[in-house]
Amino acid sequence: MKIILANPRGFCAGVNMAIESLERALELFGTPLYVYHEIVHNRPVVERFRKRGVVFVDGIEEIPEGANVLYSAHGVAPAIRAASEARRLRAIDATCPLVTKVHLEAVRFAQQGYTILLIGHEGHDEVLGTMGEAPANIRLVQDVDEVERLEFPANARLAYLTQTTLSVDDAEVIIEALRRRYPQIAGPSREDICYATQNRQEAVKDLVPEADLVLVLGSQNSSNSMRLAELAQACGKRAYLIDGVREINNRWFEGVNTVLITAGASAPEEVVEECVAYLQEHFGATVESRTVREEHVSFPLARELRVLAG
């Protein structure tokens, strides 16, 4: 068996920043330290921090007054910030700057009188945060069928934004459908789907023709990880989205000569290494690392932590 290791894979700059911010906050403040929603959508990462005393909550009211809270990489709505202030929480904002960009675009379009069509997945933490910036002005659109059901007048003042972790191809289909129905629709100055999401999808597209099977390391609630598995399946290959080596089923590899391994932007490299080691041990696999695109992006720690560091 041969393993093709896709590059780039795994942690993106936003995830690195959020995790490093949480590590630094633990050093500075100790526990209990609260995080609003999962720091990133990855079960092994969340469990590792939970064992160290981090408390993940889905409601600000769950946090004692005056405590320390860190906002996850997915961003939060203004109402959450206001609720934190009302409870006198010390807030550390680890929102990915690329998500913040979408929030600012939503505010700008709303101030200019646009109705914003947000392309994304209902209930996703990032979508909830973005919609919270201008709830009266934003409507969620999840697919082309929903575009066809829109009932805005032909000359409506419309703009679109996208969740940062979508499939590039799927988002483009929806954007084209919007443009056909509403040619005047405005869009972001630069594409919203983040560089890391695009690069990981590009690597799978380029390398999947050589593979018999694809392993994607990532959690089921990770949008960008799910999109990688779906992309491989759309290319006609069997693909499995797993959190780690314990989920591997040896029957998957019957008759398989080449396995492509990648990881979503919130999946740590150690889970990739464990899977590679397992396939080497059980199937005598050799490893070939293939780089489709270089990444040299980094983001500084959350501003509140930089201030404390002085």
* Tokens 């989205």, located at residue: 241
DSSP string covering 84-139: HHHTT-EEEE---HHHHHHHHHHHHHHHTTPEEEEES-TT-HHHHHHHTTSTTTEE
The amino acid present at 304, given as its one-letter code, is E
CA 73, CA 71: separation in Å to the nearest integer? Answer: 7
Query: Are 203 and 292 a contacting pair, CB within 8 Å?
Result: yes
Query: Are 298 and 21 a contacting pair, CB within 8 Å?
Result: no
Q: Radius of gyration over alpha carbons of the chain, in Å?
A: 21
15, burial (CB in 10 Å: exposed 0-12, middle 13-18, buried 19+): buried
CA 143, CA 25: separation in Å to the nearest integer? Answer: 39
CA 234, CA 220: separation in Å to the nearest integer? Answer: 18
- Give 186's DSSP letter: B
Is residue 126 among the annotated active site residues?
yes
102, burial (CB in 10 Å: exposed 0-12, middle 13-18, buried 19+): buried
225: enclosing H helix or E strand: helix 223-234
CA 124, CA 177: separation in Å to the nearest integer? Answer: 23
Q: Which of 38, 105, 126, 230 is catalytic?
A: 126
Give the three-state DSSP class for 291: strand
CA 31, CA 162: separation in Å to the nearest integer? Answer: 36
Catalytic residue numbers? 126
